[in-house]
Amino acid sequence: MKKLSALLFLAALALAGCKDNDPVQTVDWYMANTPERLAMLEKCKANPGELSASPNCVNATSAQFKSQFSGDKGVKAKAPTFTR
């Protein structure tokens, strides 16, 4: 029984060691740190099967989307006014 417990403990320890140790950054952090965001997006693109659902890939992708589709980049037009 002791051997089984020790084996299970070692297996759990080995699996815990496989986890990626990169700190999870927020979407706001990736918005403020463009070079790091682009580097993370390249890393995610290079290994999508393993990394695409990781928190950093999701946050970097969200920050990229926000940076591309926010701000005053749209058409600047005033609504028409109608008079009688």
Task: Identify the pLDDT of residue 13.
Answer: 46
Residue 71 φ then ψ, to 5°: 90, -160
Q: How far apart (Å, rounded) are the C-alpha atoms in residues 45 and 30?
A: 16
**Cα–Cα distance for residue pair 51/40, rounded to 1 Å:** 10
- pLDDT, position 34: 95
Q: What is the pLDDT along the chain (84 residues), one digit of tens a residue?
A: 666 565 455 555 444 444 557 899 999 999 999 999 999 999 999 999 999 899 999 999 999 999 888 765 556 778 888 888
Q: What single string gives the DSSP state of each residue in 25-74?
A: PPHHHHHH-HHHHHHHHHHHHHSHHHHTTSHHHHHHHHHHHHHHS-SS-S
- pLDDT recorded at residue 19: 53
